[in-house]
Amino acid sequence: MNPIPMVDLELQYRQLENEINPAIADVLAGTRFILGPNVTEFEKEAANFLGVGHALGCASGTDALHLALRAAGIGPGDEVITSPFTFIATAEAIAYCGATPVFVDIDPKSFNIDPSAVRAAVTERTRALLPVHLFGQPADMIELQRIADEHELLVIEDCAQSFGADVGGRQTGSMGLAGCFSFFPSKNLGCYGDGGLITTSDEALFETLWTLRNHGRKAGDYYHEMIGYNSRLDEIQAAILRVKLAHIDRFNKERRRVAHAYGRLLADTELVMPHEDGVGHHVYHQFTLLTPEGRRDELMQALKYERIACAVYYPTPLHRQPAFADLGVHEGLPVSEGVSERCLSLPIYPEMTDEQVERVAACLRSAL
């Protein structure tokens, strides 16, 4: 039996190499390696795809979050409400600014922050909401924006896992003040190293971001308006991303095909399938289900025996991470804590065949 990986980047590269290799070769021959024409063109193409005024490439998704929060003026003394059930970068970016992450519980179906928990956590120090569109499923942006409007809060979206997801036709990354994307290789739109993107339609924010990502300077001269960062999207990565952006709709459609096949094949089991709320368009960065209580290890063993990869995203919610021990909130977010104990992510990628999906489902069914 051939192994089934979580994601098959080599297969995707083989399918696109006739487009990707010449794009890389052009960058090498053109020698404009830093903020060259591919970065500029990719930013335009991404802004157009996402329906925003501006898209600005940067070095990673983590930097996208950090720069967006910094540019929005988040700093010491501020509280930013976010999810404890996410990759640590979401909350790290808040801490980098000297602000305090305030973790609120998630909705048990969508795994995204629960608006009622957000509402209850707003204090006089709250400055921003940082929802994550986890696993490719948009957060409840309508309700979150309502809360933000009521309390004059900024909304910054963590779109690292949601390139191409939308809510009623509005792309994630186009609804808040800024959207922060990651191009980590395994993401729905991934490059061949690190890369990130910040989206905004706010002119003033864009100007600050433009300056911050390149050592605090506006133009190519040596005049620095502020202390900034070296956080530029690499030109070779931009060339790769331009090729892949042209295929993103197909990639996401194929991910949904795989997800819906899992849904059909496992519907009548004790596994709880990922939920689609009918408002947001889920792009299945991950296919994450809930296992029956106490049975996750056994199911993982069964998959491993059949050479099928699986993963736990995420085993320890952020409020229980030693890195955030200073916050002193080890308990009290029961949904996140429960989901972390039961969640299991299955292989999902655009090139996955129906036969592979059937093999994964059959393995789980017999183990159950």
Site residues, ligand PLP (CB under 6 A): 60-62, 86-87, 89-90, 132, 158, 160-161, 182, 184, 194, 196
Min dist CB 212 to ligand PLP, Å, is 16
For 60, 157, 192, the CA distances from 173, given in Å and listed in that order, are: 15, 6, 22
Q: CB nearer to ligand PLP: give 285 or 359.
A: 285
Min dist CB 65 to ligand PLP, Å, is 6
Min dist CB 77 to ligand PLP, Å, is 24
Q: CB nearer to ligand PLP: give 282 or 359.
A: 282
Min dist CB 83 to ligand PLP, Å, is 9
Please provide the DSSP assignment of 5-17 as one string: -S--HHHHHHHHH
User: Which amino acid does the sequence have at 285?
Assistant: H
Q: Report the residue closest to ligand PLP, judged by CB.
A: 61
Token pair in block for residue 145:
């924006």
Q: CB nearer to ligand PLP: give 191 or 344.
A: 191
Q: CB nearer to ligand PLP: give 114 or 194.
A: 194
Min dist CB 64 to ligand PLP, Å, is 7
19-27: long-range contacts, CB 8 A cutoff, minimum separation 24: 19/243, 20/240, 20/243, 23/239, 23/240, 23/242, 23/243, 24/236, 24/239, 24/240, 26/239, 27/235, 27/236, 27/239
Radius of gyration for the chain, computed over Cα atoms and rounded to the nearest angstrom: 21
Token pair in block for residue 269:
């089991």
Q: CB nearer to ligand PLP: give 115 or 196.
A: 196
Q: Centre a 10 Å sphere on the Cβ of residue 3 and count the other Cβ atoms it contains.
A: 9
Alpha-carbon distance of 62 to 67, in angstroms, equals 9
For 7, 303, 315, 342, 344, the CA distances from 339, given in Å and listed in that order, are: 23, 20, 9, 5, 9
Q: CB nearer to ligand PLP: give 70 or 359.
A: 70
Min dist CB 159 to ligand PLP, Å, is 8
CA angle at 182 for the pair 8 and 344, rounded to the nearest 5°: 55
Min dist CB 91 to ligand PLP, Å, is 9
Q: CB nearer to ligand PLP: give 139 or 361.
A: 139
